[in-house]
Amino acid sequence: MKTRHIAAAALSLLLMTGCGNSVGVASKAPSSEPETEPLTEALTEAATEAPTEEITEAGTEAVPEETEAETEPSTIDYVAEDIRWTCPVQPGEEAWEVDARYTYEVEPDGVHVYYLGSRVQVLEADCSWCAEYDSPASLLTIKDYDMDGFADLFIPENAGTPDQYGRYYCLNTSTGRFDSCEELDDKLGGALATVGSDGLISIHNKGSASSYEDKQFRWFSGELALVQRKVQYLGSDGELYIDTYSVMGTDEELEGRERVLLDDNNEWLGTEDVPLN
């Protein structure tokens, strides 16, 4: 009887030990796989792939945009970009104050206008001659051609010649921009004009060594009108004469005649009045 009880106890102990091992393995198996593989892969992908791509793309695109926004406004080309920049002349500002804000550079495509150091316009003109001069901007003529008190521009297209031709640009005081002046271009035929203290705008057309024609214009209500002509010519008696005509519209009247006085070397001495017949 004792032998049977000992054998039964041993068998029960063996069975309990085997079940405990099988339960322990079964309980560990499902918990080990899902905790390690999916969690590791998810963390790896999230930490390496997604953040790297998003940060790289955002970082590389944002920097150039900020750089362009800071640098472009200082070199705006109005004509090419059609940007309507304005800086009107304020009431009470003196002409010398306004004129001093503008500087100019001559390039083959025209004159580049700078306002307080920033380029604001390109005035189109044929300036291919600029490469022949060290300081081409010095060949621009800056005068008040429209008689508003502020400096305007004449841009030559044949710099260095006795009779210069080109284009006129006048300062628009309501915008601060230079506008092409067709009235000057058309009425003066593109010739370079002088501006007198009497408000007359004059052009000189030289025909030959002994002949020329001067035309004087004056502004009336925004229009340039021819008011006087002076013509020098060689008379049939071999003397040089200057005839002066007053002009009103299409009508003109001979006002006076002068004889040119020359010395023995054909140097100018002056003129004397000649009675009209």
pLDDT beyond 80 at 83: no
Which carries the bigger pLDDT value, residue 95 or residue 163? 95
Distance between CA atoms of residues 135 and 277, nearest Å: 53
Distance between CA atoms of residues 146 and 130, nearest Å: 26
Other Cβ atoms less than 10 A from the Cβ of 54: the count is 10
What is the pLDDT, as a whole number, of residue 76?
75
What is the pLDDT, as a whole number, of residue 36?
44
Give 169-213 pLDDT, tens digit per residue.
999 999 999 999 999 999 999 999 999 999 999 999 888 878 999
CA 174-175-180 angle, to 5 degrees, is 100
Give 10-64 pLDDT, tens digit per residue.
444 434 444 344 333 333 344 444 444 444 444 444 444 444 444 444 444 555 5
Q: How confident is the model at residue 226 (pLDDT cuts 50, 70, 90)?
A: very high
Q: Which whole number is the average pLDDT over 76-88?
A: 81
Tokens of 48: 């390496």
What is the pLDDT, as a whole number, of residue 210?
86
CA distances from 198 to 195, 222, 242, 250, 252 (A): 8, 17, 21, 23, 21
Distance between CA atoms of residues 163 and 90, nearest Å: 37
Tokens of 199: 């408000």
What is the pLDDT, as a whole number, of residue 138?
94
DSSP calls for the chain: -HHHHHHHHHHHHHHHHHHHHHHHHHHHHHHHHHHHHHHHHHHHHHHHTHHHHHHHHHHHHHHHHHHHHHHGGGG--HHHHT-----PPPTT--HHHHHTTEEEEEETTEEEEEETTEEEEEEE---GGGGG-S-GGGGSEEE-SSSSSS-EEEEESSTTSSS-BEEEEEEETTTTEEEE-HHHHHHHTTB--EE-TTS-EEEEEE-SSS-EEEEEEEEETTEEEEEEEEEEEE-TTS-EEEEEEEEETTEEEEEEEEEEEE-TT--EEEEEE----
Give 137-175 pLDDT, tens digit per residue.
999 999 999 999 999 999 999 887 778 899 999 999 999
Largest Cα separation within the chain, whole Å, is 177
Which carries the bigger pLDDT value, residue 98 or residue 84? 98
What is the pLDDT, as a whole number, of residue 55?
42
pLDDT beyond 90 at 96: yes
The residues spanned by each domain of the chain are 73-191, 193-277
The rounded mean pLDDT for the chain is: 80
Distance between CA atoms of residues 161 and 159, nearest Å: 6
What is the pLDDT, as a whole number, of residue 72?
52
Tokens of 63: 């920097």
* Lowest mean per-residue pLDDT among 8-12, 86-90, 158-162, 223-227: 8-12
CATH 2.70.98 fits 193-277, yes or no: no
What is the pLDDT, as a whole number, of residue 172?
96
Distance between CA atoms of residues 272 and 275, nearest Å: 10
What is the pLDDT, as a whole number, of residue 64?
52
